[in-house]
A and B are shown apart, each in its own frame.
Chain A
Amino acid sequence: MKDEALFSRSNRWFVWSVAGVLALLLFGLAIGFVWMPYHNGEAGGSLWDAICRAAGAPGGNSYRDVNATKVISSDVIVIPDMIAADKEAIGRGATLSLRCTMCHGARGMSEAGTPNLAGQDAVAIYKQLRDFQSGQRKSAIMEPQAHGLSDQDMRDLAAYFAYLPRTSPPPVLVEQLKAPLVAQIGAPMRNIAPCISCHGGSDRKTGAPTLDGEPESYILTQLQAFADGHRRNDINGQMRNIARQMTKEEITTAAHYYAGR
């Protein structure tokens, strides 16, 4: 047995197994990369086009830029902990925030029906400011306010408001159990994820604002704006998809629940 050379053309195990695997491979390649693209009518060009398409490499004549006509709802990319929350940033933010006090209150709290910003998630504030500035989110008041802000200004404002004490302590598991169904469980069959899975309670997703203690009228208006498509700066239409599926009762229940927390 020792004398039997394995990797040799005289060894039939070697010859037949390699030949068999190669034949199978060539068969698969011919069908998968040549016949199939032509047969499915996708190639529409040279053999090279067909092979490129089948390999998953857009190229050649059949390549079209699918992003060319894409409507971008928001160009802000949010990542966790992207806002530095050092003393200097908070200090600068506090100074800048003087222009916000008319509507959002002296320390981020007001009775004016505007969003309460004290203790709000920094990334969420930053994203909204960026969207106001670029016009992805429409507001006659906020667009001009955000117009002159630099990127650093927006980060500092976000850091300052996040630093201010929250209106209510974070929810605990027992409190969660008292939440209405739409907040706790959502409606799986209508593709409505539970509010708590992104807005705090069960989990927090980057860029999702805290809703606790926000004015009822504000949450209501925003949910309706998402539902009818007036507001469209949510990443990949996440909130539009949810709000469209929500019933009127669910919208009022959710707004009432979060406003009362």
Chain B
Amino acid sequence: MFHSRRLVLAHFWVAFAAFLLALMLGEWQMYVRSPLFSGLSNPELYYRSVTAHGSAMAYVFPTLVAMGFGYAIVELSLKRPLVGLRWAWAGFGLLVAGTVIAMIPVSMGLASVLYTFYPPMIGNAFYYIGVVLVVVGSWIWVALMSVNLRLWKRDNPGVPVPLPMFANVAGAYLWAWTSVGAALEILLQILPVALGFRSTIDAGLARVLFSWTLHAIVYFWLFPSYIAFYTLVPRAIGGRLYSDLMGRVGFALFLVFSMPIGIHHIFQDPEVGEGFKFLHAIFTAMVSVPTLLTVFTITASVEIAARLRGGTGVVGWVRALPWGNPMMLAVAFSFIMLGFGGAGGIINMSYHLDFAIHNTQWITGHFHLIYGGAIVIMYFAIAYDLWPHLTGKALAQIVLMRVQLWLWFVGMIVVTFPWHYVGILAIPRRMAYFDYSDPAIAPQALSVIITFFGGLLLLASALLFIFILLRGHHAPRITLPEFRFSAPVHAVHHVPAALNGFALWLALMIGLTVVNYGYPIVKLLGTPGTAVPAIPVGVKR
């Protein structure tokens, strides 16, 4: 049945390889900026490494996971072969080529501009071209998801779209729309400068366009994890999904609200008016609605599993859960990290509280906790769940999986909690080194050292993860029962038209984007004299 297993495996392996390399760079960065190291003689090396780490972790790794998982979902949930397999391989090829093309100038020190680009800094053109290829490759995936759903709907009139596929296509559409901001920035602003056609750039406009991408991209990273919450977790722990409809509402709300909120990333920027900053803050708060819906639904689903296993009491059922099951561990850890990360996020989106932690290590702590923690730990769980179906071989190292997930959870807490703390003490982010002998920051030295050791735990966990997957390729061949997604408590026979397609939610998403971004962008486009000379970045003389 599973025709595209080679395709999915290729996506996952390249994703995890990029992840491991980027993780090693991250640990090196933590080492050189900690008091354990005397200070880099050349700060450029640090920014070179941060650029590679960020680009691999933000663009390559999650995109490949979402794509690979998406292709698997098409076949496993629609129960028919993927249409457009050649196109899928072409998209994969573009992604790999783009990654290589982008990483060559980065490793040569010619594009140390960080993955967020930061004009007026301008790096080597090939870095941006590589990123564009990665995004174009992913757009092929978006088109394939859309086409496959359309063809299935044509052949199955009146049948509700399976929840995994509904969520998968929602994620694809979200990515298609949110990547437009950064694509406009690169194609219309950065590349003309990088290629030498222009020498000035409107940095404020570029930042607004990038914010268009920068927040919703996190929800794109989050989608595979949320799909796993709804469609893998209840089945894996022997329960049922509490509500299929709630899942659809959640994904639809993510589509609407995760897009028009990016300006909370540039609260301290002068080029956007306070009114728009407030509007974006309001809609940022709305993202907590689908998040809390999900937390409620999944907790209820988990409770069903516990009660089926004989759990009783108001909270006593928690003991009856299958804590030895990697999926159970992963979802529990993910929720804990999502809880802390979400609480921190509410501080980030509050205009005045943001002043205290803006551009500090707090922010680095926040997005590592949410993305590196809550999201990536579910990527591990997805890989463990799918691997036997991809390789046709047993994945039996349950104990090692548990150790791996524990290491990741503890490591991520040890890394990010001290980061939050020193952030409140105002240690800046994006600094290559600190003078810890200065009395002003000497008290922060201990916290920074602790994070380095947390990073070692993460590294150990990642190596173990790769080891477990590799072992999976050499295990004995087994015959597996057909792959199943979670069954809901009440079987789905009918869903409202609004929740069986995307037209309404896409219309709201685009409408809100126009309202929330239209004026700031048009105003910046129409204001003369806002462009500043570009600053070429790269090793020279």
Is the CB of A222 closer than 8 A to any CB of chain B? Answer: no
Q: CB within 8 A of A1: which of B272, B500, B504?
A: B500
Cα distance A142–B282 in the bound complex, in angstroms = 58
* Per-position 1/0 for B319-342, Cβ under 8 A of A: 000000000000000000000000
Q: Which of A22-30, A105-113, A128-136, A245-253 contacts B (4 or more CB under 8 A)?
A: A22-30
- Please judge, given known A-B contacts A13-B499, A55-B273, A55-B276, whether A206 and B533 are in contact too, CB under 8 Å: yes
Shortest C-beta distance, A245 to chain B (Å), equals 13
- Please judge, given known A-B contacts A4-B496, A79-B533, whether A177 and B41 are in contact too, CB under 8 Å: yes
Instruction: Decide: B274 and A21 in contact? CB cutoff 8 A.
Output: no
Note all chain B residues with C-beta closer than 8 A to A224: none
User: Which A residues between 1 and 58 are near B, CB-CB below 8 angstroms?
Assistant: 1-2, 4-7, 11, 13-14, 17-18, 21, 24-25, 27-29, 31-33, 36-37, 51, 53-57
Is the CB of B540 closer than 8 A to any CB of chain A? Answer: yes
Instruction: Decide: A57 and B273 in contact? CB cutoff 8 A.
Output: yes
Number of B positions contacting A (CB below 8 A): 58
Q: Which of A96-104, A150-158, A196-204 contacts B (4 or more CB under 8 A)?
A: A196-204
* Per-position 1/0 for B35-56, Cβ under 8 A of A: 0000111111000000000000
* Per-position 1/0 for A189-221, Cβ under 8 A of B: 100001011001011111000000000000000
Is the CB of B520 closer than 8 A to any CB of chain A? Answer: yes
Note all chain B residues with C-beta closer than 8 A to A55: 273, 275-276, 519, 523
- Please judge, given known A-B contacts A55-B276, A56-B273, A203-B537, whether A27 and B282 are in contact too, CB under 8 Å: yes
Nearest opposing residue in chain B for A55, CB measure: B273
Nearest opposing residue in chain A for B200, CB measure: A79
Is the CB of B210 closer than 8 A to any CB of chain A? Answer: no
* Per-position 1/0 for B271-285, Cβ under 8 A of A: 111111111001100
Shortest C-beta distance, B515 to chain A (Å), equals 6
Number of A positions contacting B (CB below 8 A): 52
Instruction: Decide: B499 and A173 in contact? CB cutoff 8 A.
Output: no
- Please judge, given known A-B contacts A11-B498, A189-B434, whether A80 and B536 are in contact too, CB under 8 Å: yes
Interface centre among A185, A196, A197 (most CB of B within 10 A): A185
Note all chain A residues with C-beta closer than 8 A to B505: 17
User: Which B residues between 354 and 373 are near A, CB-CB below 8 angstroms?
Assistant: none
Instruction: Decide: B501 and A6 in contact? CB cutoff 8 A.
Output: yes
Would you list 27 pairs from A and B whose C-beta atoms are within 8 A, ordered by A residue? A1-B497, A4-B496, A6-B503, A11-B496, A13-B498, A13-B499, A17-B504, A28-B278, A28-B282, A32-B277, A33-B275, A36-B278, A37-B274, A53-B274, A55-B273, A55-B275, A55-B519, A56-B274, A56-B520, A77-B533, A78-B533, A80-B536, A176-B42, A187-B435, A188-B433, A189-B438, A203-B44
